[in-house]
Structure 1
Amino acid sequence: MSTTPSATRKGSLWRTIKAVSWSFFGVRARGDYEQDVQQLKPLHIVAVGFAGVVVFVGGLIFLATWVVGK
């Protein structure tokens, strides 16, 4: 059995959250990006990114209803 690169990737949840957060701002150091590509699993990045979008949109909705309600 051959080992695929995705099977040997070891990325922590915190590192994934950090990478996705920096990408939301559009600021990422090239060296960190290269490490993330090698270590993080794409499925984890998509899941954390989706959760981040849900939190962001929820925050915007809350902010809008709070401002309009006053």
Structure 2
Amino acid sequence: MSLKEAARRKGSFLHALRAVAWSFFGVRKNSEYEKDVGRLNPLHVIVAGLLAAAMFVVVLVLLVKWVVGSGVAA
């Protein structure tokens, strides 16, 4: 299957976000992975992955600022 054909898939962005969330967690059934490979739009997965990574970094930075600001880490 070519990239153009894969980009025409009708998978929703919400499904892509869910697949990316499961991949961050690290637990996934092989059968669910196979379903996702067949139905998700690769562009949706890339955008969802970038958004999830950015959100993860922001949460970590805010957590570190909170811990340092509270004096616990002093």
TM-score interval (norm. to shorter)? 0.7 to 0.9
Change (3 A) 1:7 1:68: closer
* CA distance, structure 2, for counterparts of residue 61 and residue 43 of structure 1: 27
Deviation, structure 1 residue 10: 1.4
CA deviations 1:8-65 (Å, max 9, x no partner) are 5111111111100000111111111001001001111011000000000000000000
Which 4+ runs in 1 deviate beyond 6 A? none
- How many residues of Structure 1 are paired with residues of Structure 2 in the alignment? 67
1:25 aligns with 2:25: yes
RMSD: 1.3
Change (3 A) 1:68 1:46: same
Deviation, structure 1 residue 7: 5.0
Question: Taking every aligned residue pair, what percent have the same amino acid on both sides?
Answer: 46
The aligned counterpart of 2:43 is 43
Deviation, structure 1 residue 68: 0.3
